[in-house]
A and B are shown apart, each in its own frame.
Chain A
Amino acid sequence: MREIPYYPGCSLKDTAKGFESSAMAVSRELGIELKEIPRWNCCGTVYSLTDDNLMKQLGPLRNLVRSRDEGYESLYTLCSMCDNTLKRANRLVQEDEEKLNKINNFMDQENDYSGEVEVKHYLELLRDELGWEKVMENVKQPLEGINVAPYYGCMLTRPKEIGLDDPHNPSILGELVKSLGGTPVNFPYETECCGSYNTVDKKEIILGKTQTITAGASKAGADLIITSCPLCHFNLDSRQAELLDIAPNHNPVPVIYFTQMMAVAFAKPEVNEFEEHAIDPRPGLDLEKKVVS
């Protein structure tokens, strides 16, 4: 069993528990143990775009220091927003020595950081380190006949300096779907923003976006949508359920994390906590039935 340092972030411990439990389970099948780093803190969720305020970079960088202090050279994430924030903060100090020095001077309880930790998303582990072949070897119940819309959202692929795939035409989630025996469907909104944090104060914008994105996936023939972002998941799942109250003709599309899809294909659907989803993925998909059959 290979041990890798893992940064969960807030959602994986609360609203996206099924994301973590499924990732833990499929990792074990792949010979990987996700080892949670000690004393991790919030990444800040959104990368600060102001040039002058370095305080907001401390959160993400402290997590990288924790991993380094455990003797690791990398840190793996599952959440798209954590991945983005950690990678961008890391890149900032790798490229700007003056800012790095200021931050090191401020962090008096930590040993100096020099940008030496590499941040990786779990999808990069699958594609670049384990390879799709390894994923395929572990498939026990291929997702035959299931059409899956990969939803990348914003933070996995943008900006291109840290994105894990082509920002305009990404394929990594589609390759995962294929490795599991499913059929990836192209739909026009795979990289379009769901409205993100505006869900707090401008819910009407999110309801509109959710309708566009999920109806677009449905029209393309998708049985379900996959994501790696807990905020996209909230907007596309919980807000979609609210949408049904005002748009009764809307055809609901379940939204699951890519690791939950892997757990189904690895014949471990019980780890998924699908009961927590606002739009239950189980009935329409017969996931359990497919696994048992």
Chain B
Amino acid sequence: MNLNESDKQLLEKVEELSGENVFSCYQCGKCSAGCPFTEEMDLLPNQVIRKVQMGDRSVLEAETPWICASCLSCEVDCPKGNDVPAIMEAIREISLRKNVDAIDLDRLEKGKLPEIALVSNLRKKTG
């Protein structure tokens, strides 16, 4: 597979941030079969990994990594032992480290949300 420089950059960045070898994935789809949130996603988890393998930068615009709740259902199911949630986190981090928040702090529900929800959400969705 021939990847141009920009494609390679994405691939290398995801591997660096996640500590995972994305080519270890052979696209069996078991992560997507067990994921409890696929009906809300625009890409299946295995499709996200495929796009990263191909260096396809459109994956940075996908909703899926922001819907993934790091529940680790795929992580315990993956026959290759890949940490799919770490790959999702790497994709989120590429955006967040440009100092971009994925949530609008001014629009948070007032007075209701417990700190455990706020802290975990802000850790995953703000830069």
Instruction: Write the residues of chain A forming the contact surface with B, with a CB cutoff of 8 angstroms.
Output: 9-11, 14-15, 42, 44-46, 48-52, 56, 79, 81, 154, 158-160, 167-168, 191-193, 195-203, 205, 209, 230-231, 234, 238
The reply to whether the CB of B100 lies closer than 8 angstroms to some CB of chain A is no
A15 adjacent to B17 (CB under 8 Å): no
Question: Lowest 3 A-B CB distances belong to which pairs?
Answer: A51-B19, A193-B71, A197-B120
B116 adjacent to A15 (CB under 8 Å): yes
- Give the contacting residue for B69; candidates A45, A56, A159, A196; CB below 8 A: A196
Could you say which of B25-33, B48-56, B72-80 contacts chain A? Answer: B72-80
Q: B116 to chain A: which residues have CB within 8 Å?
A: 9-11, 15, 45, 79, 81, 230-231, 234
A-B CB contact pairs (8 Å), 26 listed: A10-B119, A14-B115, A15-B115, A45-B116, A45-B119, A46-B124, A49-B88, A49-B90, A50-B17, A50-B93, A51-B19, A81-B120, A154-B69, A154-B72, A159-B76, A168-B76, A193-B69, A195-B37, A195-B69, A197-B124, A200-B121, A203-B109, A205-B67, A230-B116, A231-B117, A234-B114
Instruction: Write the residues of chain B forming the contact surface with A, with a CB cutoff of 8 angstroms.
Output: 16-19, 36-37, 40, 67, 69-73, 75-76, 83, 85-86, 88-90, 93, 102-103, 108-109, 112-121, 123-125
Q: B109 to chain A: which residues have CB within 8 Å?
A: 200, 203
B114 adjacent to A231 (CB under 8 Å): yes
Q: B108 to chain A: which residues have CB within 8 Å?
A: 200
A196 to B69, CA, bound (A): 6
A23 to B122, CA, bound (A): 29
A252 to B75, CA, bound (A): 32
Q: A50 to chain B: which residues have CB within 8 Å?
A: 17-18, 86, 89-90, 93
